[in-house]
Amino acid sequence: MQLKDWLEILAIALSPLIAVQVTEWLRKRSDAVERKRDLFRTLMATRRVTLNWDRVQALNLIDVEFYKSKPVRSAWNALVTHLTVPNVAETDAVHWQRAQVLTTDLLHSMAKDLGYELDRTDIERQAYYPQGSLEIEGEWNKLRKILIELLEKFAATQPWAQSAKQLLSEAGDKKDLLPPS
């Protein structure tokens, strides 16, 4: 047998293996792009609903899904650094406006990475969040704060509540004091 014959046999034997490897590589690449798109869609859909749990989870996955994209990770780093400043009041308009600008920068970077031609202005201004939903969210927030304040005042006037509060604070993370589930 000549070298040509051996090469033909080798090609015939390795062709299915190479085809499987190429198919697997394409599938993994496609899956990674789809995960990025899902993350981007979640963030676009919730860009006006900052307290949405899906949004929080999506933000926390940016480092994983966009690990090769320096512009996206840089924009995410700027946003998370800004958002984790301690003791920022809900009424601090300047802080929250800056957070919105940084969110727009992040979404724009992600859009470019995914090949979408979205303008920053489109990302920032073309989002719908009904005024009624905003009002309801604000009312629930107020109600929650009032209820917490009332419960704290009530607990301060009741001796049994003080004992329970002290017991719980002393227990800390001890799960043995909790009733069995």
* Per-residue pLDDT tens over the stretch 170-179: 666 555 555 5
Residue range 87-105: mean pLDDT, rounded: 87
Instruction: Give the chain's mean pLDDT.
Output: 83
Answer with the residue of higher pLDDT: 169 or 109. Answer: 109
Residue range 141-145: mean pLDDT, rounded: 87
Residue range 144-150: mean pLDDT, rounded: 86
Residue 160: is its pLDDT beyond 60? yes
| CB within 8 Å of 62: residues ≥ 6 apart | 39, 72, 73, 76, 106
Residue range 1-11: mean pLDDT, rounded: 80
Predicted TM-score (pTM) of the model is: 0.67
Residue 133: is its pLDDT beyond 80? no
* Per-residue pLDDT tens over the stretch 8-44: 877 787 677 776 676 777 666 768 899 999 999 999 9
